[in-house]
């Protein structure tokens, strides 16, 4: 995924790919374990659908923040040095822009934070609402 989502105008080494992957794994595991430790008393008191919803929040946060951490590790050179600006055809190069690089990283980070939301929350919220309205089959 890291290699396929890279900016082709910026060279990447195996070390860049490995550091991005390791950072994403470390952040995701750290957030999941840390939030479970911090919210352990709260999670113990929850039962049924509320516990499932709380687990979905923890999973979403760890996954979304891991995606942003991965992006920051993989594209830190673009934030620092900028990205190459070209015309629509890609034939004329206008130079590098650090402002455009930061904007690209910000927009990508925002999409990595927002896009997992419907996938992780809509089924959980629907299941919770169906259970609350007593429409969930018992068997």
pLDDT per position as a tens digit, 14-67: 887 787 778 878 887 888 788 878 888 888 888 887 888 888 888 788 778 887
Residue 13 has pLDDT above 80, yes or no: no
Q: Is the dihedral of CA 67, 72, 75, 79 positive or negative?
A: positive
Strand ranges (E), the chain: 83-86, 93-97
The string of pLDDT tens digits covering residues 104-137 is: 889 988 988 888 888 888 888 888 888 888 888 8
Counted residue by residue, the chain has a size of 139
What is the pLDDT at residue 105?
A: 86
What is the pLDDT at residue 3?
A: 61
Residue 7 has pLDDT above 80, yes or no: no
What is the pLDDT at residue 5?
A: 62
Residues 6+ apart with CB under 8 A from 30: none
Given the structure tokens 């999409």, which residue do they identify? 111
Among the listed residues 139, 136, 131, 138, the one whose alpha carbon sits nearest the alpha carbon of residue 49: 131
* Cβ contact 135:116 at 8 Å: no
Mean pLDDT of the chain: 81
95: tokens are 């130079």
Model pTM above 0.75: no
What is the pLDDT at residue 9?
A: 66
């Amino acid at each position: 995924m890291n290699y396929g989502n890279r900016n082709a105008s910026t060279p990447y080494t195996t070390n860049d790919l490995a550091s991005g992957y390791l950072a994403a794994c470390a952040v995701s595991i750290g957030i999941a374990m840390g939030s479970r430790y911090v919210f352990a008393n709260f999670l113990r008191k929850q039962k049924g659908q509320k516990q499932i919803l709380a687990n979905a929040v923890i999973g979403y946060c760890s996954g979304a923040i891991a995606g942003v951490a991965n992006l920051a590790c993989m594209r830190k050179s673009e934030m620092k040095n900028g990205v190459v600006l070209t015309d629509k055809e890609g034939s004329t190069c206008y130079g590098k822009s650090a402002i455009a690089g930061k904007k690209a990283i910000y927009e990508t980070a925002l999409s990595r934070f927002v896009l997992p939301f419907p996938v992780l929350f809509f089924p959980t919220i629907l299941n919770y609402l169906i259970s609350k309205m007593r429409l969930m089959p018992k068997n």
